[in-house]
Amino acid sequence: MNPEKWSAPLRRAGRATLELVAHFAVIAVALFLMRLLELELGRLWRGQHRRLVGLIPVEYLFDVADLVLLAAFLWVGIRSAVKAYRGSE
């Protein structure tokens, strides 16, 4: 086993792992901030039926925003990790 043979793939795997960890940290913070915003809006409405323009429950908007955020970061995170592993910019 030649150590130099494994050096480049391990570096690429390390970069890919760092990309995924960075994306995970960003999405965790973004979801936490969205949850805080939702709680603050709930506090402002004081437990009443929270509806936007009297029609759409606010919870639905936050659920959709969470789903879109997760899907976008999943797509971008995987693409970034693959690029980092391949060594291309």
Confidence of residue 89 (pLDDT cuts 50, 70, 90): very low
Distance CA 17, CA 9 (A): 12
Please give the model's pTM, rounded to 2 decimal places: 0.67
Residue 48 DSSP one-character state: S
Confidence of residue 83 (pLDDT cuts 50, 70, 90): confident
pLDDT of residue 20 exceeding 70: yes
pLDDT of residue 73: 83
One-letter amino acid of 24: F
pLDDT of residue 54: 73
Provide the 3-class DSSP secondary structure of residue 51.
strand
In this prediction, residues 65-72 reach a mean pLDDT of 88
pLDDT of residue 12: 80
| Cα torsion 14, 69, 31, 33: sign | positive
